[in-house]
Amino acid sequence: MLSYHALKNKPRELLAATGLTHEEFEHLLPAFAAAYGTLHPADQTTEGKPRQRLWGGGTKGTLHRMEDKLLFILVYQKTYPLQTMQGLHFGLSQPQANYWIHHLLPVLQRALSDLQLTPEREPEREANALPSSALVQEGAPDLLLDGTERRRQRPQEAAQQRAHYSGKKKAHTDKNLLLVNEHTGKVAYLSPTLSGKTHDKKAVDEAALSFPSGATLSKDTGFQGYEPTGVLTSQPKKSRKAKP
């Protein structure tokens, strides 16, 4: 069964399971505990009613430690397993895993927001928010733009099937654009979810992103022709195959 106590001295395994180093996990933990206390006060039940007995009484649950709660939701976010598999990792049934996922996701989102680590998401804010974003400016405004696709259930309607079928992946997918700070590896912008058939260049044009003056932007061939004003762009070129 997974627990933070078992992983905290295993940096490679902790990174693989959560996407965070030990230092990053410890930095997030106090904010997560504070957010949990705000959203789920100790003097109230999960339904928001006053407790009839002091908090901590009764049988201790599997996730009674705050660090294990954080580990649970980070593992779910990093690996996105079936709820049954998530439960098996932590000694929970599928209904219990479902409960904790929905119970802890808002807490994690609140903690990341309090630490100003959430990427921009709202289309109406992006043009003004990105140039001044701490996630963009940290280190230097050297950014990486990429598109990411993930498989989804095949839609039942024919029109939706065509819209979500990705010829590149040979599967039905959803797509998001990511703008990453190359110095920190932090995601500064995460686009709304798009259908897998949407071309990367079309998606970024419609996003109408604004960048800090003097920023650099690395991009792949999917964004060929995308040249935002005042930004130095670079695009890798495939090397020619060695002649026999």
The owner of tokens 């990053």 is: 24
SS3 label, residue 161: helix
Q: Are the CB atoms for 105 and 184 separated by under 8 Å?
A: no
Q: How many CA atoms lie within 13 A of 102 on its CB side?
A: 7
The pLDDT of residue 43: 75
Residues 146 and 129: their CA atoms lie apart, in Å, by 19
The pLDDT of residue 123: 54
> Of 152, 232, 240, 144, which is closest to residue 193 (Cα–Cα)?
152
Residues 1 and 46: their CA atoms lie apart, in Å, by 25
- pLDDT values of the chain reduced to their tens digit, one per residue, 244 residues: 899 999 999 999 999 999 999 999 999 999 999 999 999 887 776 667 777 766 666 566 789 899 999 999 999 999 889 999 999 999 999 999 999 999 999 999 999 999 888 887 765 555 556 777 788 888 888 999 999 888 888 888 898 889 898 888 888 999 999 999 998 888 888 888 999 899 999 999 988 888 888 889 999 988 999 998 888 999 887 666 655 5
Strand 187-190 and strand 194-195: pairing? unpaired
> Of 106, 100, 112, 36, which is closest to residue 63 (Cα–Cα)?
100
The pLDDT of residue 239: 64
> Of 236, 78, 74, which is closest to residue 145 (Cα–Cα)?
236
> Of 31, 17, 100, 11, which is closest to residue 62 (Cα–Cα)?
100
At 211, the amino acid letter reads F
The owner of tokens 């949407």 is: 198
Indicate the pTM of the whole model.
0.73
The pLDDT of residue 3: 92
SS3 label, residue 75: helix
Domain boundaries, given as residue ranges, for the chain: 4-50+62-114, 123-234
Gyration radius (Cα) of the chain, Å = 21
Number of helices (H), then strands (E), in the chain = 10, 7
Strand 216-218 and strand 142-151: pairing? parallel
The pLDDT of residue 96: 95
